[in-house]
Amino acid sequence: MIALARRYRPKRFADLLVQDHVAAVLRGAVARGRVGHGYLLTGPRGVGKTTAARILAMALNCPNRDPSGDPCGDCENCARIWNGSANLDVVEIDAASNRGVDDARDLRERAMYAASQAGHHKVYIVDEAHMLTREAWNALLKILEEPPPGVVFVFATTEPQKIAATAAPVLSRLQRFDFRRIGPTAIRARLRAVLDAEGIAADDDALTLIARHADGGMRDALSVLDQCLSLGEGAVTAARVREVLGLVADDLFAETLELVAERSPAAVFPLIDRLVDAGADLVEFMGGAGEALRAMLMLQLGTDPEGLTEGLRQALQRYRDRLSPGDLVRMLKLLTDSEAAVRRSANPRLVVETLLLRWAMMDRTVDLEAVLAGGAASPPAPAAPARGSAAPARRAVQSPAPERDTGGGGNRPAVAPPPPAGAPSAAASPSSAPLAELWPDIVAEVRSHSRFLGEALAATSPKSAQDGVLDVVLGEPNPLFAERLQTEARAVEDVIRRLSGQGVRLRVTEGSPEGAPAPRRLTEASLKADRLRGFRAKDPSLDTAADALDLEIVDEV
């Protein structure tokens, strides 16, 4: 199945989401035959910079271009450029790879090759341009000072300030376009349109969660949606999105707010138990709790926070009068103090527990008027006494709270329940078999804690452990899998220790299948090697072209 991000990538200037200011200028330049020699496209990742560069290249080389300057999108030229496959006239360079930097140095010579046909333009697209070295920029500057006819350079970068630092003279020769972040509303609308085109239903909450996670990048949003679709049939639900993203269910945040509002430190321990049992990522939990506090603060200050799921919005409404803005600011302060610690700590659980305990036992903002009215040294009172029912200022620490029933209400946490006691794999004593043999059991055990983490692990194969480090190799590049395996390596390591008795540290790599010859040159490590080999297999003329140009073709998706 073709990835959604690829299938729905725009093919015409007219389709560039949110970036109409850029599209209008580039299209006009093509239509009037006034395209410049150098462009700089800046903006956050996944907002369409490379896509715009490819559309420009298509428009310059499309025999059926329409008078407004848009390429047809369908002819062979357009298709090849759009696919990022071999094309003599469009060269993509990933400056983030070592190879890319060398390629850029060689560019000066290469730029002298004319376009393959009269009337065509040679377009160089340089991604991650801020990674280019000073020498590479100097070589480029010489080309841009006397550009060969028909050659166009398009540089894309997320960090233009770095280019300003290393290559100010080049910058002055480039036309610069700043791409905008794509807002959550636009992302939701686009996801909805894609799902409609695919004939698939989805909850509003599900799309809200994806849009919030994507943080302005359409490509990330679509690849998360892809993962959700690959994980199951039927409508895309918020629960499935949480599973894919490792998000903590809203009701756990609601319970966190409750234990703070109720000042009940004893409720901290069972809550953390459930988080850990469910395989939740504690860093993610803290991030989510921070967002919830910020949203509550916004509500109290009269702004409507964007991107809230319905469940979280209700929880915030329920507790908004129990915590004052001052309390929330103090909680956020404590949270930021712990955030670095939780990433570093060998025991992140302890860090999160301590944070929640501090929240639950925190002195509340004293309402000065209430103190004056009620006599001098009253203990800290809950905020917003206006609401009546003032809870006792401080509760005695209770024995652990009774177990909460989370089954009811159809609002189940998305995280999987802990495995039943006595599940065979959990109970098994450590085996001395090699890890490769135990791998299926390890995967199954991990999956019983977190389905998505299990899927990610199932996509890997273990190499032999050396010096306590176990390399697991992802057969296919998958950034979401890689990220999850890295952030939850410890959970996997625990399972490995339990089932094999071996203490290893997990190291996740993305690799090409064993035995395949390494590509002659890499543009972005082995990630793209497979795809490239595929292209070559399909089109032998590509080998000749790649030899002639002495470079690999980068396929950026």
Which CA distances in Å does 510 have to 94, 257, 462? 18, 40, 12
72 vs 186, which CB is nearer to Zn ion? 72
75 vs 371, which CB is nearer to Zn ion? 75
77 vs 157, which CB is nearer to Zn ion? 77
CB of 14 to Zn ion, least distance (A): 14
CB of 87 to Zn ion, least distance (A): 12
CB of 74 to Zn ion, least distance (A): 6
CB of 26 to Zn ion, least distance (A): 16
The beta strands (E) that lie in 333-446 are given as none
75 vs 459, which CB is nearer to Zn ion? 75
CB of 58 to Zn ion, least distance (A): 6
Task: Compute the distance between CA of residue 418 and CA of residue 318 in angstroms, rounded to an integer.
Answer: 29
Unique residue bearing structure tokens 């903002």:
365
Q: Which residues bind Zn ion (CB under 5 A)?
A: 62, 64, 71-72, 75, 78
- Residue 90 burial (CB count, 10 A): 29
CB of 246 to Zn ion, least distance (A): 42
Identify how many contiguous H helices and E strands the chain contains and give both numbers: 26, 8
Q: What is the DSSP letter of 149?
A: T
- Burial of residue 117 (CB within 10 Å: 0-12, 13-18, 19+) is exposed
62 vs 532, which CB is nearer to Zn ion? 62
Give CA torsion, residues 230, 234, 236, 240, to 10 deg. -60
Task: Compute the distance between CA of residue 246 and CA of residue 280 in angstroms, rounded to an integer.
Answer: 7
Unique residue bearing structure tokens 């060998």:
346
Closest CA to 219 of 197, 194, 254: 194
CB of 479 to Zn ion, least distance (A): 31
Closest CA to 351 of 332, 361, 338, 340: 338
74 vs 196, which CB is nearer to Zn ion? 74
152 vs 444, which CB is nearer to Zn ion? 152
75 vs 357, which CB is nearer to Zn ion? 75
CB of 73 to Zn ion, least distance (A): 6
Residue 162, C-beta contacts closer than 8 angstroms, at least 6 positions apart: 130
